[in-house]
Chains A and B, each alone.
Chain A
Amino acid sequence: MTELTTRAWLLSDAPQTRRQAKLGALYQGWLTFRANKLAMFGLVILILLVLMAIFAPWLSPQSPFAQNLADRLKPPSAAHWLGTDALGRDILSRLIHGSRITLFIVGTVALIAPVIGLFIGTVAGFAGGWVDQVLMRITDIFLAFPKLILALAFVAALGPGIGNAVLALAITSWPPYARLARAETLTIRHADYIAAARLQGAGPLRLLIGHVWPLCISSLIVRVALDMAGIILSAAGLGFLGLGAQPPMPEWGAMISDGRTYILDFWWVAAVPGMAIFIVSLAFNLLGDGLRDVLDPKGAKE
């Protein structure tokens, strides 16, 4: 098929098959998304970030751990594009390898927290009664907590480290998803198609997984995309406090903390990783806004 006919096939008013309709809807969404220049900008940055993480060993000029005390705290130069840190390590190399850690943390939290939230929220909304009461009360309690302080307390109890930081962030960020999933469930709980599926003999678990979850997913995705930047910043905050990834791991927040002591004389040690965090979370925010326009047109434009 040529380019033009593919497009016509995708945009057809009368799709012949289910697959064509689905792909057509996806393509429509992509067209809307593509029109949003800022969102495209965010997407490009994030694709670059992922590529950087995948090809880190080939891209970085040096090992992120190689120390060279003779070359410590050197300003950006031809040999070290972004300068060196207090142990003479090449900051550019550390930055490139750090993208892996950032993506790992964000990816894991953004996977765990919405799933917990989806489960709790849909069960609460679908079951109703005392189950709903108890689950939502627990959600309220977690919402009443200051998020960062709770994460700090969890890390304090579990011990510092990247795994525990991920866990702490996931534990503190599921409640909004639960609320969202519950609200969605309540609106579709009494829909005719649910009743129809029930009459066909579908059990509660089947209804939940097969008929309720798919409808909650798109609003959850929007919410996750919008929360990504917040997760990055929280993770960097934990790293900055020395509670996330432990040295010598090139975590961006921890790198800022390393440069803190030298901020007045050797500014680049702290400035560079901070800039990286800013760019990535900005990209996530732009992408999230764009995705919201596509997936949730109601809530999009104020």
Chain B
Amino acid sequence: MVKTPGQGGLPPVNGGAPGFGRIRLRRRAKNVGGVALSLVLTLLGLLLVTFIIGRVMPIDPVLKVVGERATQAQYDAAYQAMGLDKPLWQQFLRYMAEVLRGDFGRSISTGHPVIDDLKRVFPATFELAALGTLIGVFVGVPLGVIAAARRGGWIDQIARVVALVGYSMPIFWLGLMGLLLFYGILGWVGGPGRQGIIYDGMVPTVTGMILIDSLLASDWGAFRDAFSHIILPASLLGYFSLAYISRMTRSFMLEQLSAEYVTTARVKGLSERRVIWGHAFRNILVPLITVIALSFGGLLEGSVLTEIVFSWPGIGQYITKALLAGDMNAVLGGTVLVGTCFVLLNLISDILYRVLDPRAK
């Protein structure tokens, strides 16, 4: 079985990017049918929980639709039209059918259907979290491997401190301090937001990810501008991701390096480099993929606080704004979307694990 990350090693990750340390779906399901069933049940549970949350909301959803000055007759009509007079289980079925059709209702604060809003804001978060994960992988994996290979050496010590600080730092505070230093004092990066004002709306939207869109349009000025805006928040997320990835890589590697085949390889006279990268590292690739997938999910979530700090128009900012406005449709729509991403990431890492690891068959 694959090692479940976060059960040993360092503590689970903090409020900034919570949930790295947990594995969400047990790999208990033995076959594809089991995986599918578990997926459906989990998604169903997700909908049930959001449905219940929507029910306990103290705000009257009917009043939000008809307004404060509606007559009793108008109120009753809307009440029935929304199906609130039906038994709860029928309401739940109706909610489920709506969500499956991609209908999350209309957002009260933006006036658009929630699904359209989500389509607009999700690419911004995805771009940020993807770049953060890339940074986390490209720094964290080598750091973890070297820390394991030179156990107790100075790189190991540094990696330890980096991880400890990452686990203890409030991400939104680090973001503010980063803005102060790199934007306010040094002026190295662009300020809050995704783009400078001059480039706003200049790049035609294809994927919704500005870095890619500006490349597609061959607009180098816009690309550099977008890059200067994304690099700071992405590096911050990357830092939290690398704290986790490097710890996990280190403990996976230590386990491999104490295995007998490594001793054999050394006895055969292979160079240390071949032993580490060619033999031991190849064997941790599969569990590492699970870790990276989890870390990506954690960043999707951790971006909520980061987006607020950097005024990043992504899903985190969308949910938070809706929340403060009492806009429940938008909150629940966003929650379902992020939750579904989590479940799918788990599924993908599960499938990759099965495909790549011959022992799993």
Is there a chain B Cβ closer than 8 Å to A302's Cβ? yes
List of B residues within 8 angstroms of A142 by Cβ: 49
Contact partner, A153, options B53, B173, B301, B346, Cβ 8 Å:
B53
Q: Does A227 lie within 8 Å of B11, measured CB to CB? A: yes
Contact partner, B173, options A141, A143, A242, A256, Cβ 8 Å:
A256
- Stretch from A73-81, A83-91, A120-128, A274-282 forming part of the interface with B: A274-282
Is there a chain A Cβ closer than 8 Å to B232's Cβ? no
Interface residues of A in 116-141 (CB under 8 A from B): 136-138, 140-141
Q: Does B164 lie within 8 Å of A285, measured CB to CB? A: yes
Q: Does A229 lie within 8 Å of B11, measured CB to CB? A: yes
Asked if A156 meets B57 with Cβ closer than 8 Å, knowing A149-B335, A278-B168, the reply is yes
Is there a chain B Cβ closer than 8 Å to A263's Cβ? yes
Q: Does B176 lie within 8 Å of A140, measured CB to CB? A: no
Asked if A141 meets B168 with Cβ closer than 8 Å, knowing A156-B57, A256-B173, the reply is no
Output the least CB separation between A83 and chain B (Å).
Answer: 15
For the complex, what is the distance from the CA of A259 to the CA of B175, rounded to whole Å? 13
- Taking each of A136, A144, A253, which has the highest tally of chain B beta carbons within 10 Å of its own beta carbon? A144
Q: Does B173 lie within 8 Å of A281, measured CB to CB? A: no
Q: Does A274 lie within 8 Å of B324, measured CB to CB? A: no
Contact partner, B168, options A138, A144, A263, A282, Cβ 8 Å:
A282
Q: Does B15 lie within 8 Å of A227, measured CB to CB? A: no
Q: Does B332 lie within 8 Å of A263, measured CB to CB? A: no
Is there a chain B Cβ closer than 8 Å to A240's Cβ? yes
Q: Write the chain A residue with the least CB distance to B39.
A: A144
Output the least CB separation between B149 and chain A (Å).
Answer: 14
Q: Write the chain B residue with the least CB distance to A156.
A: B323
Q: Does A157 lie within 8 Å of B45, measured CB to CB? A: no
- Chain B window 155-175, contacts with chain A (Cβ cutoff 8 Å), 1 for yes, 0 for no: 000000000110111111110
Q: Write the chain B residue with the least CB distance to A145.
A: B339
For the complex, what is the distance from the CA of A232 to the CA of B168, rounded to whole Å? 9
For the complex, what is the distance from the CA of A264 to the CA of B184, rounded to whole Å? 6
- Stretch from B20-28, B95-103, B115-123, B203-211 forming part of the interface with A: B20-28
List of B residues within 8 angstroms of A175 by Cβ: 22
For the complex, what is the distance from the CA of A155 to the CA of B339, rounded to whole Å? 17
List of B residues within 8 angstroms of A249 by Cβ: none
Is there a chain B Cβ closer than 8 Å to A72's Cβ? no
Q: Write the chain B residue with the least CB distance to A237.
A: B15
Q: Does B251 lie within 8 Å of A230, measured CB to CB? A: no
Is there a chain B Cβ closer than 8 Å to A64's Cβ? no
Output the least CB separation between B64 and chain A (Å).
Answer: 14
Contact partner, A149, options B11, B324, B338, B346, Cβ 8 Å:
B338
List of A residues within 8 angstroms of B171 by Cβ: 233, 237
Is there a chain A Cβ closer than 8 Å to B139's Cβ? no
Q: Does A152 lie within 8 Å of B53, measured CB to CB? A: no
For the complex, what is the distance from the CA of A140 to the CA of B14, rounded to whole Å? 20
List of A residues within 8 angstroms of B169 by Cβ: 278, 281
Asked if A157 meets B57 with Cβ closer than 8 Å, knowing A149-B304, A176-B22, the reply is yes
For the complex, what is the distance from the CA of A288 to the CA of B167, rounded to whole Å? 12
Is there a chain B Cβ closer than 8 Å to A235's Cβ? yes
For the complex, what is the distance from the CA of A271 to the CA of B175, rounded to whole Å? 11
List of B residues within 8 angstroms of A264 by Cβ: 179-180, 183-184
For the complex, what is the distance from the CA of A146 to the CA of B320, rounded to whole Å? 15
How many residues of chain B have a CB within 8 Å of chain A? 72
Chain B at the A interface: SS class: helix
Q: Does B170 lie within 8 Å of A274, measured CB to CB? A: yes
Asked if A229 meets B168 with Cβ closer than 8 Å, knowing A146-B339, A153-B53, A156-B57, the reply is yes
Asked if A274 meets B173 with Cβ closer than 8 Å, knowing A146-B297, A146-B338, the reply is yes
Q: Does A137 lie within 8 Å of B304, measured CB to CB? A: no
Asked if A138 meets B45 with Cβ closer than 8 Å, knowing A147-B19, A156-B323, the reply is yes
For the complex, what is the distance from the CA of A150 to the CA of B49, rounded to whole Å? 9
Asked if A229 meets B304 with Cβ closer than 8 Å, knowing A140-B25, A140-B42, the reply is no
List of B residues within 8 angstroms of A232 by Cβ: 14-15
Q: Does B12 lie within 8 Å of A153, measured CB to CB? A: no
Q: Does B26 lie within 8 Å of A140, measured CB to CB? A: yes
Output the least CB separation between A262 and chain B (Å).
Answer: 10
- Chain A window 34-76, contacts with chain B (Cβ cutoff 8 Å), 1 for yes, 0 for no: 0000000000000000000000000000000000000000000
Q: Does B173 lie within 8 Å of A277, measured CB to CB? A: yes
- Chain A window 220-248, contacts with chain B (Cβ cutoff 8 Å), 1 for yes, 0 for no: 00000011011111111100111100000
Q: A234-B15, A237-B170, A256-B172 are in contact. List 12 more A-B contacts (CB 8 A).
A: A140-B38, A140-B42, A143-B25, A149-B319, A230-B11, A230-B18, A233-B16, A237-B305, A242-B324, A259-B176, A271-B176, A302-B9
Q: Which B positions have Cβ atoms within 8 angstroms of A?
A: 7-16, 18-19, 22-26, 38, 41-42, 45-46, 48-50, 53-54, 56-58, 164-165, 167-174, 176-177, 179-180, 183-184, 250-251, 254, 297, 300-302, 304-305, 308-309, 319-320, 323-324, 326, 328, 331-332, 334-335, 338-339, 342-343, 346
A and B contact pairs by CB, cutoff 8 A, 27 listed: A140-B42, A143-B23, A143-B24, A143-B25, A145-B46, A146-B342, A149-B301, A152-B319, A156-B331, A157-B58, A159-B58, A227-B11, A229-B11, A230-B18, A233-B170, A234-B15, A240-B305, A241-B304, A241-B305, A263-B179, A274-B173, A274-B176, A278-B173, A285-B167, A286-B164, A289-B10, A302-B8
